[in-house]
Amino acid sequence: MSTNQYRTHKDLVAWQKAMGLAAEIHRVAPRLPRHELFGLASQMKRAAVSIPSNIAEGAARRTTREFLSFLYIARGSAAELETQLLLVQDLGYLPLPDCQRIHATADDVGRLLSAVILALHRRLKTPSD
């Protein structure tokens, strides 16, 4: 579904994938070492939830420019989460296949966010906005 055809944030593939990523992070975070539950695990969960939350909030705004601002925040949270995932992998806190699977999903979310951002920038360049 293109950005021109969505009715709510729930129709956006980027939001749907981001929700899946957030759910996955919430499933694996408790598997991190106990001493990380209030540190890295908590921070990962906040970053993961921030992605679909900012997509939803931006989609509910009145203008394309406002939506773009929230998408950039979501993309920043995605980058933050990817950094945290790399740390989890480097520290050996999760099995490598789990890390690779989650990285792949996070990469998909990042690409989708970039695609929506690009489409919205194109929309801004047309006289209809």
With residues binned 3-state (H G I as helix, E B as strand, rest as coil), the percentages for the chain, rounded to 5, are 80, 0, 20
Tell me how far apart the alpha carbons of residues 44 and 17 are, in angstroms, rounded to a whole number. Answer: 16
Reading the chain (129 residues) residue by residue, the pLDDT tens digits are: 444 556 789 989 999 999 999 999 999 999 999 999 889 999 999 999 999 999 999 999 889 999 999 999 999 999 999 999 999 999 999 999 999 999 999 999 999 999 999 999 998 887 654
Domains of the chain as residue ranges with CATH: 9-125 (1.20.1440.60)
Distance (Å, rounded) from C-alpha 91 to C-alpha 36? 11
Q: Which residues of 69-103 are buried (b: 16+ CB within 10 A; e: fewer)?
A: ebbebbbebbebbbebbeebbeeebbeeebbeebe
- The pLDDT value recorded for residue 127 is 62
